[in-house]
Structure 1
Amino acid sequence: MKPLCHLFACIFLLLFLATPLNAQNIDNRTTTSWIGFGSVAGSYVTKSGNKSIGLTGDSLEIMLWQDIESSGFFDGLQLLQLKLAGTGIDGSGISHEPKLELLNLQYHLGWNWDLFNLVHLQFFASYGIGQTRFGVALQRGTVWSNKFEEQQTYSDMISYGINLIFELTDRLWFGYSSVRLRDSQSVDYGYTQSTFAPTDYQSVLLVYKWAAPHQNQRGQEVTSTNR
């Protein structure tokens, strides 16, 4: 397990890097937030039986903000939750029922490409830190079973992917996200040594575009002039 001081230092660094650009008095073209729901896949590999068991589950992502500059470069800060589970039998005939849950704070960097002024194609990479919880239940036929106590640790994650976002209205957009993950967690329960590894997730995105600060200022100027 990584020390708490390491976790707090990483969170502070992410928040410092992820200060929204509009808070730095940089005039952005677009600022968005979104919520996304989807599915996630992964694997659970048992070293004792040399067997890979597929994991599936649900993903939830909340983009707190994403700032897109007029050049196309963007950055953002996101909360990501992944829940996976599965079942399978290893080479020794023992049934495994693993469960994995991750909660990550992720900083994104990427490039936004506008198509026809209606579609946004985004390529990005991200780094995140957070908490991982995992557990597994073992059973051999009806004569023996063992459910290990859930454990938790702190871990980091690297990911990269693509967002495809469509502008439905001036404020409400709709999109799809496909992301590959680079993360693994080794587990040693004494009897069995295993590795959890989420591999990818896809999400449907409901996006909200925020009004730019300069637009609000212009609106106030127009109101003052009319008066």
Structure 2
Amino acid sequence: MEQPQNNSGLNSRDQHREPSPAPPLSPVQGFLLCLALLVGAGLVIHFTAGSTAPPAPLNLDKSEPGGAERAGIPEAKSKDKEPNRKSTLSNQEAVATFRHFERRIAAAYRRRNPDLVRDTFTSDSPMEPRLLKEIRQLRKDNVLIKPRSATKSLSMADKSRRRIELLQVVVSAYRFFDESGENVTVGRAANRDVVKSVLRRENGRWLLHNSVVVRRREIKPGEST
């Protein structure tokens, strides 16, 4: 998903309580976190200050993937059957590989556990350092994140021997809670984003390189997604 860079990470709990507008989240969360990236796990969000009323209802997919359910990560498969080890991927395989990485990233944010995204990113991915920084900030601030998202469409847009580009339309929103369960989010908004994600083949495996928001529309209360 390219949206403006923001290297400040997530806001602290005190910042969430401030009446002034919160800054936009980073591309990882704007993807993700589309990256929203929870298709059963994903997070694209942008907060606006003000109302403490609950967000407008969204028709979101709340189903969790199979496999390691608590982590939101599918069971590992034998290497010779893993799609991300194939020299080329079909549209269906590329989508499945991307969704696998989405679930890993969403689980890492929810559980504030960076170990859940091992073997997810390319060696020079701009997403990984931002994700690790934001997870550290969540832990430092004792804040939990509860995302909701629904992917409206996801398909391969371009393919070469070493690079696959996917386009995703996703509706996402999320809230912050402290560890006692109190909602510490100020301002709620849902977004409909068009996200461009890139898988790249590295050392024989397809890995996630980057995701950027190429178009964003804020969804107002009562507005159709």
Q: Name whichever structure is richer in helix by fraction.
A: 2
State if a TM-score over 0.5 links the two structures: no
Give me the TM-score of the superposition, normalised by structure 1: 0.30
Please say which structure displays the higher CA radius of gyration: 1
Q: Name whichever structure is richer in strand by fraction.
A: 1
